[in-house]
Structure 1
Amino acid sequence: MTGLNFGFTSCFVVEMVLKLMALGWGPYLSDNWNRLDCFVILVSIPDLVSSLVPALSNLGFMTIFRVFRVARAFKLINKAKGLRTLFNTLIASSPAIANVGSLLFLLMFMYAVLGMNIFGASDRYDGELHANFDNFGTSLLTLFRVFTADGWQDVMRVGFNCNEQSYQCDMTSPLSVAAGLFFPSFVITVLFIMLNLVIAVIMDNFVGEAQSEGLLK
């Protein structure tokens, strides 16, 4: 492993030196991929030195540099056109996804507060310990469970006054009517609309990146 580490690090250093000789510091660092390569190389050198000098390998902070060995895998992204397109798509989509994520959190916050006020005093269905609206924290976690579509129908039965043995629900009570509006509207708004909005943002940026890379015409 030490020999492989020395070989790969030496190749990376030679590559960076040749690029610096050809381009200079300014043009070299103006490229994002070159900055990533420079970072990977700079954190690889202390790791290489510690592997060659046993006394340094026992130092605690050297473990941090060993962790950054994983970052070398990112160098492959720049070499493979498909991986580079996917990576650039994620970077280009990050601002829009952050905006959608903020809106998603705001919607979940509103529904969590609304759920506390509507279902906070209702009985728990089938012994559910975590799927309830007793406080804001569990309310938010319950909605996150609904967001993942993990048995959200069982969570919805909290508001339907369902019998645990017969599974019969009282659909005429005001609480059942509220649950019939609350949960489907949350699923449609958050699970379908917001999730598809994220997918649309990623696909739009992917098409743009693929065209710039020549993968699409």
Structure 2
Amino acid sequence: MWVDTMGVLGTLRTNVGKMVEHKHFQMLIIGIILLNGLIIIVETYARGNDLLLIFDQIIVWIFVLEMVLKLFGLGTKRYFSDGWNIFDFSIVVASIAFYATPFVSVLRLIRVLRLIRMIPAIPALRKIIDALMKSIPALTGVLGLCMLIFTIYAIIGTTFFSDVLDYEFFGSFHTSLFTLMQVVTFESWASQVARPIINEVPWAWFYFVSFIIIGALVILNLVVAVILNYLGQEDEEVREEQMERLYKENRELKEDIQEIKQMLLSKK
């Protein structure tokens, strides 16, 4: 009886595991996440609507049911071995924990964070985010170079342009850093910052042009190159895994053929 029960549970767990990994189940969850986002958007126009709150509660318990099914079907070890599942688990648990509390702002933040669950549900988005996470160590070098360039140009700007414009532009080191952020994003940098300074300090054109070339073009392209490199590496890893699997299957097939050949020869 005990063996039969364990067998039934094992079969049930296997079937549930296949169900939660099926593409139709994933599409259903994506649809619920989109519905959750739509409800959040509509609620910005109709705050405190009872019907929207009921829908939100239903969605929360659907996410709870999804989490329970995944825990049962995949097992706790396999479930928590995936970082995205840990994120989903944290969001669902936090949604339940803060639902009946007076921390309305925290609850609203958690409801918005539920939309991030779209990332692991869509393979293309997950691939991009995984590549970004893997590229963080390499990007630290680029970030260090960026900080060095910003520091040098901020010191130069504070030294030579502090008396030309108002204090908020180059009056101190931190205001110069903020102004350089404005310049590197091309937000009104010419009319508001560069031209007034060039009218007073003619050589300042070289300062702004060189900073834009180095800061905006070179650094940005370095960041893009690093991220694209890691995206390409992930594709290469997938191809290598596929080739390794095919090689293993081919080797096993050759061994089977060799055994059959030896059996036929021995019968003769």
Aligned to 1:156: 194
Distance 1:130 1:144 in 2: 16
Distance 1:159 1:62 in 2: 48
Change in 2 beyond 3 A, CA 1:116/1:66: closer
Q: TM-score, normalised by structure 2?
A: 0.59
Structure 2 residue ranges without an equivalent (≥5): 1-51, 243-268
Mark the structure with the bigger radius of gyration.
2
User: 1:183-198 counterparts in 2 under 5 A?
Assistant: 183-198=208-223
Aligned to 1:24: 75
SS at match of 2:144: helix
Give 1:71 deviation, angstroms.
2.1
Give 1:140 deviation, angstroms.
1.9
Distance 2:210 2:222 in 1: 16
Aligned to 2:152: 110
Change in 2 beyond 3 A, CA 1:13/1:109: same
Aligned to 2:251: none
Give 1:180 deviation, angstroms.
4.1
Instruction: Report Cα offsets for 1:68-117 as digits up to 9, x if no partner.
Output: 11222222222222222232233233333344233212211111112222
Give 1:21 deviation, angstroms.
2.5
Give 1:32 deviation, angstroms.
0.9
Change in 2 beyond 3 A, CA 1:181/1:153: same
Distance 2:116 2:202 in 1: 52
User: 1:160-175 counterparts in 2 under 5 A?
Assistant: 160-162=198-200
Change in 2 beyond 3 A, CA 1:115/1:76: closer
Aligned to 1:176: 202
Distance 2:149 2:68 in 1: 51
Structure possessing the higher relative contact order (Cα contacts under 8 Å, 6 or more residues apart): 1
Change in 2 beyond 3 A, CA 1:41/1:152: closer
User: 1:47-196 counterparts in 2 under 5 A?
Assistant: 47-48=98-99, 50=100, 59-61=101-103, 63-121=105-163, 123-124=164-165, 129=166, 132-154=169-191, 155-162=193-200, 176-177=202-203, 179-196=204-221
Distance 2:61 2:128 in 1: 28
Would the aligned equivalents of 1:85 and 1:213 in 2 still touch at CA under 8 Å? no
Instruction: Report Cα offsets for 1:108-149 as digits up to 9, x if no partner.
Output: 11111122223334x34xxxx467433223322222222122
Code of the aligned partner of 2:172: N
Distance 1:36 1:45 in 2: 15
Code of the aligned partner of 1:176: P
Figure out how many residues of one structure are paired with residues of the other and give that number: 188
Between 1:203-212 and 1:34-43, the stretch displaced more is 203-212
Aligned to 1:6: 57
Distance 1:4 1:211 in 2: 43
Change in 2 beyond 3 A, CA 1:32/1:108: same
Q: TM-score, normalised by structure 1?
A: 0.71
Code of the aligned partner of 1:149: F
Distance 2:104 2:169 in 1: 46
Distance 1:80 1:213 in 2: 17
Would the aligned equivalents of 1:81 and 1:213 in 2 still touch at CA under 8 Å? no
Aligned to 1:203: 228
Sequence identity, in percent? Answer: 34
Structure 1 residue ranges without an equivalent (≥5): 51-58, 163-174
Aligned to 1:56: none
Give 1:16 deviation, angstroms.
2.1
Q: Which has the higher helix share?
A: 2
Give 1:197 deviation, angstroms.
0.9
